[in-house]
Structure 1
């Protein structure tokens, strides 16, 4: 028998349930809207997007995409890519925290940078442009511009709010930025024309400079 002195928990009415479903549907629509906005320019000649973006002929032509990094396990063949002469690098990996995405950093970073040095805009995409492809782009920024994992993701997320790599990918990115990115920078530099490499580095640092200061977490010294 219930205690008459205890408040009775509110009963969720059908109307409340309908409102909850409507709110959930609105969130899904907002999520899809963000994804459907198209590919996002992260720095000059480097774009981040979804599978839909990668197969959108209008966008590919508009942004003059010449190379594509596809990060998923589905068939990457696309007639549009063939018709436009786009060079595709396929990386087969699931969006799971346990997947070793860092094993692909060296290959993808080299591919992206050679594309940009040649002034061939490159699109990096997975299924939604949220986790896998964002991690690869962040690793690229860490390598070439030497910014931290935190700042690279902050910059990308500021431009594309839907970005949200899984925890395992974030951890691998942080370890890579701390332990390997500098060595990768030197090895990539050795594969490029020195003058072109230096010129691209100046442009990239200039593109990031006005944003990165916003993301640097305060130190105890700066708080005094």
Structure 2
């Protein structure tokens, strides 16, 4: 599937380490969390994703649960936003609005905008992120090609790591915002019980990923 544009901000080792550390960080009381997240973590609320924050590294973080000190929390860090195009009639799905929205992502500090990137250019964004994650966790347990279960496209590689009793997934993921048409590039952390193995087949494994990162 062709891509009209891709906004992205490279993952740094510091940003990855911060995300991976969140489940084990000391919890912050709810009544103190907003002040702590703003003054200590450098987070700011954003409307790019519902109920999400822009981190101090200028990525967009959504979470289900308490983001600090909660081993049951799911964390989804978005560092890329793609607009896939399925010809022939882009006006049917709000082309101008989607172009504008991707531009808002690209306007975040440290983000760049690729116009009409090919699949190799999109894949390279995930490849570079995978190198950063692998430097912390080693090689992924599994690498497989995504499909429309995870988003509208592009169908890039999905990588899975285990970190103790957490799974770490690097993959494309549906935006779920206007028109449901854009695609996030995300690094996620989610609970993964120690005795639970990955499904053997690729389709079952993609279903496993979908059930954990698309909430």
Shorter-chain TM-score range: under 0.3
Higher-Rg member (1/2): 1
Higher helix share: 1
Q: TM-score, normalised on structure 2?
A: 0.25
TM-score w.r.t. length of structure 1? 0.24
Greater length-normalized contact order (CA 8 Å, ≥ 6 residues apart): 2
